[in-house]
Structure formats: structure tokens, C-alpha cells
Structure 1
């Protein structure tokens, strides 16, 4: 792991940044566990190490360092952040300095210029106590959910005082319903879903918010191997395609793509909702001619020698959104501190996922049975962008095949709403900007990004070029009317 450690920062023998070669009890346990440690198991090991430090090291601060509560953990987070900052986040300098003067001396020196207790109190007062620490967060087993999934085995939830159970969910209808009935506190969703749920499209109208996008790009159009001679979409009349949900970027991008080639998605082809884990089996059985699906099931079709990748969706719209972290407005309002901690953990994990050097480690963490249940080589091909497409023997090298960016652009929401209206999923007058700004919490995301040291965009709207056609977010109705094939 390379996540920040919550070990005693005043102890020279502790590394505040763990690596794959670390031999501490926590990292050794992580290495032995095929499925990764739960947040609770990780906390127990951290407490044991802290207790050992307290008993055996006289120069360490004498305060009780066991994490008996989220407050204790937050105290350690503050201490660790201050000490790391003093040494410029260069851990060898910290450790060498403590070896020379002792941890107690360092703590006293910091205390003489910075009232640590008051800083800790101020941080906790600004956050308030967590109303709830044990949470259930649903996810559909796809690589788009990487930040939500890896935040459990890699400790991002625990970092913010949360004990999160991430629950594998068969598909998005189930994820939506379990979120609506309160069984899930929050969930991995598709970016159109919170908009649809708020508007009452496909379900009862319930105000939902989307504080963070999970991934951009990361999808593909896959065709059965028997169709290698039908690369022109004009040849697809009569084809049966799968998408994971009606209110999905997959559905809207597939419709957009075929319509731009003169194919009416409601009359010339069939589009069926198929849960992602069932895509490959349906392709093999001949129930589908192709699908526009999230990974790893595009790469899995190639791995199983059933299908080939016709096109990555980044070649339809570079940087398009796909999945997101979402919850009800009720949850965010009634549990603001818990919501804030969960929000921060997701944004933090998303930025960690965005770094190419972390992708192989993440692939190992999320591939096991309790998460994606996929061969690690398949997941690694998706996350690294080095893959075979089922057409050519050579390895493709597309680093941006999938990326992770938490910022929920309001203009992305406006585009999604135009497609919902274009294809008849919503009707009548639409307050595009009002709905976008109600559901996609770009300003909140900007603040959290700044709090975590990341730089957010300076605006929340921008135009997009999609298959050579410009989307002007200020003219949504004109954009809809510009299409020859539409329902509205």
C-alpha cells in the first residue's frame, strides 16, 4: 500500500507511508489476506501496534493512542498531518530527526509553537461527531466503481473514521431500489440515475444528490466474433444490443452513436437491459449481437474469445462521465458529518485511482471474489490501458481508456438531460441548469478537493465535441432539435 499510515508519527521506527515491501504487522496481514482486510480488522491491528508503541517506547507521547473511537482516530490524523507537513512529507527526514532528538522532544517542540490539543479540538468541532460510523454502500462489480471498492481494502474509509461495508449488487435497478428504501446509506450509481430519481423518471421522485463522479471513459462497444466483417454500424440493422440500465451513459452513448450513422435505436435495432455480469454469457449464447457495457466485461469478452472491442467510448466522447457516488438528500441532511466524511473518503480514493502508477496495485486489490471476481490480468488491462482488442495480435496502449475524476460538471448533467428528453424518457419543459445544479454538487466537490489539497476546475460548465458535433450547454433545446433521429 502507499496510503498514509496512521502509525505514531513521533516514533522513528514507524513509516508514515507504507509500501509493498513493508513488513509491519498491518502490511504483513494485508499481504497474507487474499481478499484484503476489512476496515475493522485493519483498525484492530492499528490499535495493537499503537498499544505496543505506548508500552515499549518511553520517548513517545504518553497520551493513550488506541483508537477506541473515531475521535481518537481523528486525533491521530491531525498529529500525522502536522508532523508530515513539518518535514515536507519527506518521511526519511522525519525519522532521522526523531532518532537524533527523540519523539517526546519533537512533540514538546511542536506543542510550544502550536497548541496541538486546540488544533485537534478545532478540527473535530468544525467536523462535529460522526452521527453514524457503520455504513452500507452498494456497488455493481465493474471497474468504474474502483474508488468506492478500493476505499475499503486500502483504508480510505477508515482514514476518515468510517467502518464501511461495500456490498456487491447485481445491477442498477437493485442498487436504486435498495438506496430508495434505505437499505444502503449511499451507492455507486450511473451518472444519469440521480437526475432520473430526482425527476421521478423510472421510479418515485426522490431528491438525490451526486457529489462526485467516479470515472470518465472506461466503456466500450463489443460485438460478437461472428460480426468481425460488420464494422460499419449501417450493417447493424436487426442487431440485439445490451446496455446495463436505461438511465445510463451506455444507453445514451449507444443511441447517439448508432443514430449518427443513420440507425434508429428504437426501430432498427433492439436495446435490452442486461446486468453487466451477464453480458458475456448472453453474448456467448447468441442472445446479444453486441453490447455497450462497463469494463471489465468488455475485456472479459476478449479474454473468453467470445467478442472483440469495436470501439472505446472515449472515441465517441473523450472524457465522458460514467459512474458516480450518490446518496439521498435526506442522508446528507440528517447525517451531515458522516456524509462529509464519506464524501471526502470517496474524493480521496478517486484521486488516488487517477494516478497511473497506482493502477496495478488497485487491480490486485479489487479483483478478488468479494469485489469484481475477475482475473487480475483482465482488470489490469482495463486500468492500465495496455490490452488486446480481439482484432489484432498487438497490444494496444491507450492510457486514457479509463480515468478517475470526481468533479461533477454541471454541463455533463445538462447533456444527459438533453438525451433523456431526446429519447422520450422525460417530457415537457425542463429546467436544465436548475436540475443540474440541484443534483450535481460541483461547488461542494470543489471545496472538498481544496480541503484535500487538489485543484478543482475554475468553472462548472463547458461545451463538448461529441462525434464532431458541438454541444453548447447554453442551448439545450436547440441541440435536441438539431438531431434528425429523436423521439421528442
Structure 2
């Protein structure tokens, strides 16, 4: 009889913890001889710290955080690898009703278009007195870097024209209502909560700022991964099978019920269903269908693209978090490990990309790509039409403005 692998995974109660929850609750972990224990944490700092001291082997974690840890930007921290993404998309920028009305007066629309609504926000900021304040969940988060990218490409200097504060995701809506912040970038269900319970309004979404981009990934203690390759491969297979289940719309009612349980997100099903359906509450009773708002499996959603890692690295350089050197770039790019993903999924005959990196923004429509099977990628890319070529990191960093 095969001895089961004992794995403890940390998670923050967000919609994109779904793959871990489903792997445990629907038997995919058990089918791979894994005894999977899930440990809920309130903040990303706690996730990082408990990984560092060995309370967890793996964790649901912010996509840039393992890179930051490996670059020595945050302590305490163990070296990590990222052998899998946990889906694409899933966050939004939510603003107070007062700010939204000012943006509407400057041309903002309910279509959540990043370009139009970013231009409206810029007009508001130019004509406003005290600085607006926006919340993000962690300095080394996709939320922070994508919010900054959106603001900067809209002509707003995020370091001088506004203030950016760090808050845990569950506190965002209450901070908005209390007037402590004017907007925030967070994952679901906290944007839906803001709209339904705190009179907020969505300004734009991740799927508009950087389409087909990663939100959370599987962060793995590097030493544990090297000592337990079979256990890690088994976990990746379980999570991939869970992603297929999550991607099937016929399972969404059950998925919402699972996630809403007190041991997981512990929030009403009505707060969770919109992100899965792609029909989100925008504000003032309006809903909008957002294509690819959260993608758990399609379009290589769980593949750990090295180009994603390197883009996050360029933003760490851009905003003064790290000096750009050849060694730092190498550390960042090698944090994401498509080789581990490929090895683990061989036995499942999964369609895989033929490359480990891609030019971000090159796919303007859904595109069949060369791979080990039928696979469609895209559309991807940035709202301002720019491209990121991972083979041209120096030039990309040189081309970026701070504000």
C-alpha cells in the first residue's frame, strides 16, 4: 500500500483559493495519495511567515511574493519555487461612491474600460485638493503592481499624486466606508462586498488592465520541494484536476457552497457567485458581464510562465523595490518552475505550451498554439497596447516611467 503524502497548505480566504479547497473536498488530493490539510490565514504576511518557519510546505500566495522572498526583499522568508499558477484574473479596482460620481463627471463609464476610466480618474486627481488614498493587500502583490501600472499609464504618478496603503483584504470595504481610503485593489469577494454592502463602485478590473495574467500561485518551500519531488508532483496533479472541476460551469453552484463554508471563505454565496459567472455587480444596481474575469483552467491558466515572473520583476525595479542586475533578473525568472509543472503532469497527458515564456500582449485574440496537444491562449496583454518581451528586459525597464 502506498504511503500517503502529508502536506499542509496555507491559504487566505479568497475566491482564488478554490483549487486547494476543491483538491481537498472533492477527493483529488486523496486520489493522488495526499493527505492535504488546509490552514486559513488572515493576511499575506502571516502566510509568508508560517512558510518561513515550516508550518506549511506550500501556500496559496500572491504571484510576486515568492520572487520578492527569493530576492531578499522580505523577511523572514524561505527560498520558494512556483511550480503552478492557481488561475488567471480575479481582482478589481473598487472606489467609493463619491469618487465614482466625480469620475463619471469626467467621463467614466460602467463598461470598466481601463483606458477611459483611468483618464477620468486622472482628471479628478488634477482638480482635487487632498490626495486620494488607495488600498492594496501587500507591497509585493499583483494588486500593487497592476494598480500602479494602470495609474501610471493613465498619467497618474502613484508615488506623488495619490497615497497607497496596505490593508488585509477583509478590511478594504470597511476602510472605504469609513473614509480612510477612496479606493482599493483586491481579490474577490471583497469587490463584490464593497458594491453590495458598502455602496462602492467598480472602476476597472484586472482582466482589463493586464488580461490573462496570474493572480495567486502555489508557493512552495524550495528545500521541501527538492526533498519531496514525488509529493510535489502528486500535489500538482491534484490541483490540476481540481482546476478542471472548477472550470466546469456545471459545478459552480457546488463550488460556491464549498467556498462559503465557515472553514474556508465563510461569506454568503451571493458574494462568491458573481466572480465565477463573470457577471459582476458594478454598482448602483448595475451588473456587467466580464469575459475572463476569473479563469481556473482554460488558456493554460495554471502554467507558471516565466514571462509572468519577469514582468513582476520589472515592476519591482520600476518602483524602486530592487536594483536591476543580471543576477536579480536570473533569480526572479528562475523562481517560476515550468519544468516541475511539465514533469508532474506528463502522466495526465495535459496539453502544454511549447515554450516557457511568451511575449505578453502579443495575442490579440484567442489563438491556437503549438504545444503537446490542443491548446488555445489569449487574448492577453496590457490595456495601453504595450508589449513585454521577456528576452528584452533591459530595454523594457529603460522604457518605463516612474509616474
TM-score (norm 1): 0.70
* 1:356 aligns to 2:249 (yes or no): yes
Give distance in 2, aligned partners of 1:398 and 1:358. Answer: 19
SS in 2 for 1:457: coil
Match of 2:339 among 443, 465, 469: 443
SS in 2 for 1:211: strand
Assess if the C-alpha contact under 8 Å between 1:360 and 1:383 holds in 2: no
Q: Which runs of 5+ in 2 are unaligned?
A: 104-119, 362-381
SS in 1 for 2:38: strand
Give distance in 2, aligned partners of 1:484 and 1:422. Answer: 8
Aligned to 1:416: 312
Aligned to 2:388: 471
Aligned to 1:480: 397
Give distance in 2, aligned partners of 1:135 and 1:153. Answer: 15
Alignment of 1:240-251 (within 5 A): 240-251=133-144
* 1:216 aligns to 2:88 (yes or no): yes
Give distance in 1, aligned partners of 2:141 and 2:230. Answer: 30
User: How far 1:150 sits from its partner (Å)?
Assistant: 2.1
* 1:300 aligns to 2:193 (yes or no): yes
Match of 1:370 among 251, 263, 273: 263
Of Structure 1 and Structure 2, the greater strand share is in 2
User: How far 1:210 sits from its partner (Å)?
Assistant: 0.4
Q: CA RMSD in A?
A: 1.8
- Number of matched residues? 357
Match of 2:59 among 187, 193, 211: 187
Q: Which runs of 5+ in 1 are unaligned?
A: 1-68, 72-128
Give distance in 2, aligned partners of 1:264 and 1:437. Answer: 27
User: How far 1:361 sits from its partner (Å)?
Assistant: 2.0
Give distance in 1, aligned partners of 2:95 and 2:77. Answer: 36
Match of 1:228 among 100, 104, 117: 100
Give distance in 2, aligned partners of 1:347 and 1:372. Answer: 21
Give distance in 2, aligned partners of 1:351 and 1:360. Answer: 15
User: How far 1:206 sits from its partner (Å)?
Assistant: 3.4
SS in 2 for 1:380: helix
Assess if the C-alpha contact under 8 Å between 1:168 and 1:371 holds in 2: yes
Give distance in 2, aligned partners of 1:156 and 1:286. Answer: 44
User: How far 1:374 sits from its partner (Å)?
Assistant: 1.2
Q: Which has the larger radius of gyration?
A: 1
The higher relative CO (CA closer than 8 Å, separation ≥ 6) is in 2
Give distance in 1, aligned partners of 2:11 and 2:149. Answer: 27
